[in-house]
Amino acid sequence: MSDIAKIEIDGNSYEFPIYVGTENEKAIDVKKLRALTGGVTTIDPGYKNTGSCISEITFLNGEEGILRYRGYCIEELAEKADFLEVAYLLIFGELPTQEQLQKFENDIKDNAILDDDLRKILEAFPRKAHPMGVLASLTSALTAFNPSSVDASSEEAMYNAIVKIMGKLPVLVAWTMRKSKGLPLDYGNKKLGYIENLLQMMFKQPNEKYKVNPIIKNALDKLLILHADHEQNCSTSTVRIVGSSHAGLFASLSAGISALWGPLHGGANQAVLEMLAAIQEDGGDTAKYMAKAKDKNDPFRLMGFGHRVYKNFDPRAKIIKVAADEVLADLGVEDPILDIAKGLEREALKDDYFVSRKLYPNVDFYSGIIYRAMGIPTEMFTVMFALGRLPGWIAQWKEMRQNNEPIGRPRQIYIGKNIRPFVSIENR
Ligand code: SDX
């Protein structure tokens, strides 16, 4: 801590310490505000100016477009690491040795079988059910088969819960997709790596051997790394606040999946593809959609653009845009949607409405184009985001519980009616 903030209220002056982080971010510590001022609180809808916690996991600098997991730049991790390595880094704080990584992967594989009764729950869903609703329900249903809530103070109990969910969620993701396609549920092959086996579980046809395409495997590995954590975004904050009541890890993750579903958050990757397809239907009329996005009377927003924190390029969008070009070229896929996306980006980046509001493409703008080239259905895009974000949610939940953070319970300012006597129904 260093420096002091002075606040004057009704002629009284109060001093509050200023928290300074390792990257020189500053926050006024208002933990004692109500007590010192006789009940004054802060108000900040959407928490645009409010920090909920101190954390060692992820650092973002929105002005400079910086993203680091445990101090490592996202650009290096996306290039040089694989998803399980990054998951280990986020959850346990250090890059794993070869031996640690091998044990992590083996323990995850040993926990990748679901209770067969979960199939019955899955079978009960209509085929057209949105995969995010199915995934949130099945993740919550895991608590029925793993009833004991993890003892967060025990590293061993935490580790066992972590490898359990890291093993089971990919199966739920794959089964959710196969359910929507009426395909038999598959466990893949334990001999395969994490991403290869996920692809096999998702795409293997019952009557043929499945051969992993290395281009798709590498692209998916990179996409999951890029989505793995993002400090206190909406869904991570949800996982933290649900976990702060000491609800279990799986229940907290299920809540995070539901929060991610929203089109303003992770659901944007599906909404981007739907928007680009609509523009394509409209003969590529990007100007019409730009005008809609700028029209205050039109609720339409340019999906995949803008960010609460990034007021510069989302570094993930930069990496994914390059990857989209490479994957489509390597797969020999000509997708006019990519050209429409690039055209829209070009126009927005020179339009004052977007420039003045610092609205740049975010992680969701290009990711769907790659998922689509991989043959993943549009409604599954946010499910892939959830799988990528799983290690981040776990890491943040673990940090919150092991820091013994208090139950999350924000205050409010009441602006309703003052006290009034009850009126019997005859007199109303
Ligand atoms: C993710 O938080 C995270 O880290 C999230 C995430 C993660 O990894 O977890 O990065 C993932 O959720 C990325 C964002 C995906 N969502 C979208 O792409 C949906 C479209 N974008 C927006 O709805 C919006 O930009 C948000 C929700 C992302 C951010 O909203 P804010 O920070 O609350 O900003 P705002 O709504 O106050 O907008 C500021 C101004 C407003 O105009 P004015 O009132 O100043 O005139 O910018 C406008 C907004 O109307 N605006 C847009 C816009 N985004 C903001 N106008 C048109 N199109 C848009 N996309």
Tens digit of each residue's pLDDT (9 = 90 or more) over 193-252 = 999 999 999 999 999 999 999 999 999 999 999 999 999 999 999 999 999 999 999 999
SS3 88: helix
Distance in Å, CA 413 to ligand 1 centroid: 25
**What are residue 403's phi and psi, to 5 degrees?**
-90, 5
Average pLDDT over residues 357-373: 94
Q: Quick one: pLDDT at residue 2? A: 55
- DSSP for 308-373 reads SS-SS--HHHHHHHHHHHHHHHHHT---HHHHHHHHHHHHHTT-HHHHHTT--B-HHHHHHHHHHH
Reported pTM = 0.96
Ligand 1: lining residues by beta carbon, under 6 Å: 46, 230, 233, 264-266, 268, 293, 301-309, 357, 359, 362-364
Phi/psi at 69 (nearest 5 deg)? Answer: -100, 115
Alpha helices, DSSP H, located in 65-129: 74-80, 83-92, 98-110, 117-123
For ligand 1, atom 30: residue with the closest CA: 308
> 141 C-alpha vs ligand 1 centroid, how far in Å?
32
Nearest-atom index, ligand 1, CA of 307: 28
- How far apart are the C-alpha atoms of 107 and 101, rounded to whole Å? 10
Predicted pLDDT of residue 149: 85
| CA of 200 relative to ligand 1 center, distance in Å | 35
Instruction: Flag the least confident range among 49-58, 147-156, 234-243.
Output: 147-156
Helices 83-92, 194-203: crossing angle, 10 deg rounding? 120
Which of 60, 225, 307 for mutating ligand 1's site (highest number of atoms within 8 Å of CB)? 307
Q: What is the pLDDT of residue 52?
A: 97
SS3 (DSSP) at 61? strand
Return the residue whose CA atom lies nearest to atom 33 of ligand 1.
308
Q: Which atom of ligand 1 is nearest to the CA of 234?
A: 2
Query: Contact at 8 Å (CB) between 132 and 260?
Result: yes
Among protein residues, the one whose CA lies closest to atom 46 of ligand 1: 296
Nearest-CA residue for ligand 1 atom 14 is 265
β partners of residue 17: 4
394-424 confidence digits (pLDDT tens): 999 999 999 999 999 999 999 999 999 999 9
User: Which positions are annotated as active-site residues?
Assistant: 307, 364
Of 57, 289, 301, the residue with max ligand 1 atoms within 8 A of its CB, to mutate for a pocket test, comes to 301
Q: For residues 377 and 213, give the distance between their C-alpha atoms in angstroms, rounded to a whole number.
A: 18
CA of 316 to the centre of ligand 1 (A): 16
Counting beta carbons within 10 angstroms of the beta carbon of residue 81, is it exposed (0 to 12), middle (13 to 18) or buried (19 or more)?
buried
Indicate the top mutation candidate among 274, 308, 384, 387 to test ligand 1's pocket, ranked by most ligand atoms within 8 A of CB. Answer: 308
